[in-house]
Structure 1
């Protein structure tokens, strides 16, 4: 190894250590002093989409393999919609098997479960798996790319255009730091995607030619709380990273694009996370799916209905400025049957000094059918007897 290369690696290692332990030093870094060495960058609150820091966030640039976040998203949405199953067998076409770069060396006609192909994409950044999955979901990679662009527009990624499912360089294949953060916000709502993106390694093949995939996202090892999501690199795009980390209920998304230094995308993302976690906290009221309140039911098969938080109820706040926060419930005094499971019945509103900060839907925990004639008659008779006893 050249002396110059050894020296450069030592400098990068020292820089990473400094960034990692910066929050524990008694120093402050103002937003204006946050020097991010990237072509573009953004730091976003995953829950609300609030932007905490940005640098050229709407400038178009090449995403490289961060593209695969959308590929994974579309595949897992198809699973959730029941269109495909994780246990479906995906057969590699000659077209899919022809791709180089990061790969698992699929042979034409070789088959694996959809789940294993998705692991190959999330952990090994496999281009051949990306194309195989695209063809399986949409019939052709071209049709899948149309789906990618349509979904991007639906998610608010207005300055994004995909030309393929893997991210290998194409001048007409671009996005922005803001758009990638928006796509990642949605992707992180898919539990299976979070599971795959957090995997550090996976044995894709056994003997006689074992293949162990190692996640390219080194923040999974280097940064406490980091658990996703995808790196990207080409000689044109340079080093890119869309990352997420959670601490004390606060989940942040950091995107850096066009970083020149090797491993620099990890160092710059850590700077962003340190900035965010040092200055902001998350005030939680209820977890997603937690019981918030119960309401009486009129003319129903049961007398009460439980209301659950559809999503985690809470708000990001600058540290030390969360005084006066309270939760107001906007719900009816009584619910009329029938009610469908998951139906929105009311809202929880986070307030601070009479100012509304955020709203969250409250949904029915279970379905309530309309009461039968005999049940309603029985309730009336019971109420009459109760009145008589009081007399």
Structure 2
């Protein structure tokens, strides 16, 4: 009987250790990691996509240049227009405007020397312009879509601000006609250009995904063909898992990476693991790499706090 008692005692002891370890993995991320993570950016926000709850933020109410978010809002309005039947994916869109070069992404945010030359008399399929905007942030594609949909960029900007108001974005956020990616881009930067707060950007991404789930499929393709130009554009979001690079993040499936040396590098991204979807916004990082690193760390933090047990354990181990 004594031997049996020892075996039983040993089993209870092992179960006790397991319970303690489980409790530690569940509680430590929420307590010891409460002040983490360290994020090097002008502003950053992490939210739960299901509830909209802010899980972490720094300078979330600070208005910053919003070229990429302006393009996301442009895509939203185009998706609305397609859904309502006002435009069609197969429509031929006259580019209009001056002859300018739009740089084509050649991989993970780098730009090739050869630009995509769009002339006033060019006619490009609407779906190709949309994907050029979604994948490589073509400023001129965004302008052509705005003019085609609303008659002018100014009218389209009014539509963007009306949408922003309807979804509850703050007065700090303001959209103006886009000049990103064109020769007169400097004329539309802060204080005269579009601006948005990181909190508003996260809210906007959440509402966009809920309104148009297909946006995730469109913004997560690693490469898209522009048949009318015989070229391929590569997505700037190096966190997409299919890139399998150093910044690839499991579960990342949208939305947009953008930025410049002048305004800093930003990412509005979302990842889903199991039933848990998180939305992360990084604005004004010193480099594209730092924006990806900050986003990955924030997502790890979010899953360490509120994911499944397995996700909490794996994410916690990456943070400590």
2:103/2:116 contact within 8 Å kept: no
Aligned 1:87-236 pairs, distance under 5 A? 87-95=90-98, 97-98=99-100, 100=102, 104-158=116-170, 159-165=172-178, 167=180, 168=185, 169-171=188-190, 172=192, 173-189=194-210, 190-205=212-227, 210-220=230-240, 221=243, 222-236=248-262
User: Which deviations, in whole Å up to 9, do the C-alpha atoms of 1:257-286 show, x marking residues without a partner?
Assistant: 110134111110001111111221379xxx
Indicate yes or no: 2:64 matched with 1:61. Answer: yes
| More helix by percentage | 2
- The equivalent residue for 2:82 is 79
What's the counterpart of residue 356 of structure 1?
Answer: none
Equivalences for residues 225-374 of structure 1 within 5 A: 225-281=251-307
What CA distance in whole angstroms lies between the structure 1 residues aligned with 2:151 and 2:308? Answer: 43
Kindly indicate whether the alpha-carbon contact (under 8 Å) linking 1:64 and 1:237 is maintained by their aligned counterparts in 2: no
Q: C-alpha distance in 1, partners of 2:101/2:175?
A: 17
Using the size of structure 1 for normalisation, the TM-score is 0.62
- 1:308-353 deviation digits (Å, cap 9, x = unpaired): xxxxxxxxxx979xxxxxxxxxxxxxxxxxxxxxxxxxxxxxxxxx
- In structure 2, how many angstroms separate the alpha carbons of the residues matched to 1:58 and 1:265? 18
Cα distance between partner residues in 1 of 2:100 and 2:116: 11
Partners of 2:285 and 2:291 within 8 A in 1: yes
Q: What per-residue deviation string (whole Å, max 9, x for no partner) do you get for residues 345-372 of structure 1? A: xxxxxxxxxxxxxxxxxxxxxxxxxxxx
SS of the equivalent of 2:221 reads coil
Q: Cα distance, 1:65 vs. partner?
A: 2.3
CA shift, 1:101, in A, is 5.2
| Equivalent-residue separation in structure 2 for 1:38 and 1:140 (angstroms) | 34
CA distance in 1, matches of 2:214, 2:152: 24
Q: Secondary structure at the match of 2:41?
A: coil
Give 5+ residue unaligned stretches, structure 1: 1-23, 284-317, 321-391
- Please report how far the alpha carbon of residue 117 of structure 1 lies from its aligned counterpart in structure 2 after TM superposition: 0.9
Question: Taking CA–CA contacts closer than 8 Å with sequence separation of 6 or more, which of the two structures ends up with the larger relative contact order?
Answer: 2
Deviation at 1:205, TM superposition (A): 3.8
Query: Does the residue aligned with 1:38 lie in a helix, a strand or coil?
Result: coil
Q: Does the CA contact (< 8 Å) of 1:141 and 1:164 recur in 2?
A: yes
Q: Distance in 2 between matches of 1:104 and 1:72?
A: 20
Distance 2:66 2:297 in 1: 20
The 4+ residue runs of structure 1 with deviation greater than 4 A are 99-103, 166-169
Alpha-carbon contact 2:270-2:279 (below 8 Å) kept: yes
Deviations 1:141-178 (A, max 9, x none): 11101111111111122121112235445223211100
Aligned length: 258
CA RMSD of superposed structures (Å): 2.4
Contact 2:267 2:291 (8 Å CA) reproduced:
yes
1:81-136 deviation digits (Å, cap 9, x = unpaired): 221111211111024x4364566332222112211110010012111110000000
Judge conservation of contact 1:41–1:255 (CA < 8 Å) in 2: yes
Aligned-partner SS, 1:120: helix
Residue 298 (structure 1) aligns with = none
2:261–2:286 contact (8 Å) kept in structure 1: no
